[in-house]
């Protein structure tokens, strides 16, 4: 995190989230103070506050205020089945799916950031020897290169002309498209490492969607489906590539609760899993040969 580029609130949140996922920060533990975190990440306190808010919205932190450092949240014992933030839930389900000798992942994503982090988590799990699949096959659908994305969109202001609004929208969405490209590359490298280092039969393919998905979903091993809605909200100003502070309407995938449906959980769940698999196969057959944003 060194260098001239400032660390973003999302990157700070991702780092802290990783510490929670790995158990370095446990339920009930206090985080460092905002001043200490600002010093660690070499950012202003405002960036730290935004990062903490991201983690609070994801259900990972309690007691987020200016008065004292927040604590890592605990899942109440009487609510073991409630949907959880995507990154935590997906990691758990991936560990379960990767216990199979032949793993399949079919995913519909907006940016695939959560999926990228989940696969990175599984790299560690495989390296530890916890699971050792013989094959891993993934198909991922992302927004197409010519799609007019539904978000992020700058919040309109009275002093901003329509032309300026369009130009600003192009700017913030260009940054997102670059992010998708980078995340796609990271996932391809993960599969390359599984092939070349772990000698796993690992293949990954990407296809495009003709629209912005309003729901993320994952079909794992053809046996279970994870669903989560993308909910648009207004987010505080953040620095764009040209140095402007822009308030935007956007979605945060980490805030999305995931609902799990399994074939083994009864006929209704089984029917949903089967229909989602059929739907994915049909969309893939239609659009997989077209280029993605990358």
- Vertex 136, ends 199 and 102: CA angle to 5°? 100
Q: State yes or no: pLDDT of 80 exceeds 80.
A: no
pLDDT, residue 76, reads 53
Percent of the chain scoring above 90 in pLDDT: 37
pLDDT band at 241 (very low <50, low <70, confident <90, very high): very low
When pLDDT is averaged across residues 194-220 and rounded to a whole number, the result is: 94
**Where is pLDDT greater, at 17 or 41?**
41
DSSP H helices in the chain: 9-21, 34-41, 45-57, 86-97, 113-127, 162-196, 267-287
Q: What is the 8-class DSSP label of residue 159? A: T
Per-position DSSP letters for 85-97, written without gaps between them: BHHHHHHHHHHHH
Class of the domain covering 9-72:
mainly alpha
Question: Residue 256 has what pLDDT?
Answer: 78
Q: How many C-beta atoms surround the C-beta of residue 175 within 10 A?
A: 11
Task: List the end-to-end C-alpha distance of the chain, in Å, as a whole number.
Answer: 25
- pLDDT at residue number 40: 92
199 or 146, greater pLDDT? 199
For 242-290, how does the pLDDT look when each residue is reduced to its tens digit (9 = 90+)? 555 788 899 877 667 888 898 988 899 999 999 999 999 999 998 876 5
**pLDDT, tens digit, for every residue of 113-167?**
999 999 999 999 899 888 889 999 999 999 987 788 998 899 998 888 999 888 8
Instruction: Tell me how far apart the alpha carbons of residues 206 and 105 are, in angstroms, rounded to a whole number.
Output: 12
- Give the domain ranges of the chain: 9-72, 86-287
Rounded mean pLDDT, 10-22: 82
Architecture of domain 86-287: 2-Layer Sandwich (3.30)
């Amino acid at each position: 995190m060194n260098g001239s580029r400032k660390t973003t609130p999302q990157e700070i949140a991702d780092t802290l989230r990783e510490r929670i996922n790995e158990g370095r920060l446990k339920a009930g533990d206090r985080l460092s103070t905002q001043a200490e975190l600002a010093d660690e990440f070499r950012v202003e306190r405002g960036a730290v506050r935004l990062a903490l808010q991201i983690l609070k919205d994801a259900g990972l932190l309690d007691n987020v205020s200016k008065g004292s450092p927040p604590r890592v949240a605990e899942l109440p014992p009487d609510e073991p089945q409630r949907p959880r933030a995507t990154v935590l839930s997906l990691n758990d389900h991936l560990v379960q799916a990767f216990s199979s000798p032949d793993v399949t992942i079919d995913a519909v994503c907006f940016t695939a950031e959560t999926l990228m982090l989940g696969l990175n988590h599984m790299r560690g799990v495989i390296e530890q020897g916890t699971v050792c699949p013989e094959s891993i096959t993934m198909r991922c659908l992302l927004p197409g290169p010519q799609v007019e994305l539904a978000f992020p969109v700058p919040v309109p202001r009275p002093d901003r002309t329509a032309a300026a609004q369009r130009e600003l929208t192009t700017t913030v969405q260009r940054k997102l498209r670059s992010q998708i490209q980078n995340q796609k590359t990271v996932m391809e490298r993960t599969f390359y490492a599984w092939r070349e280092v772990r000698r796993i039969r690992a293949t990954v393919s990407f296809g495009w969607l003709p629209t912005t998905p309003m729901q993320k979903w994952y079909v794992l091993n053809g046996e279970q489906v994870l669903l989560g809605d993308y909910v648009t909200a207004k987010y505080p100003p953040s620095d764009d590539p040209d140095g402007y502070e822009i308030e935007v309407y956007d979605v945060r995938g980490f805030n999305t609760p995931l609902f799990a449906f399994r074939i083994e959980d009864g006929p209704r769940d089984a029917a949903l899993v089967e229909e989602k698999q059929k739907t994915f196969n049909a969309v893939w057959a239609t659009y997989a040969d077209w280029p993605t944003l990358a």
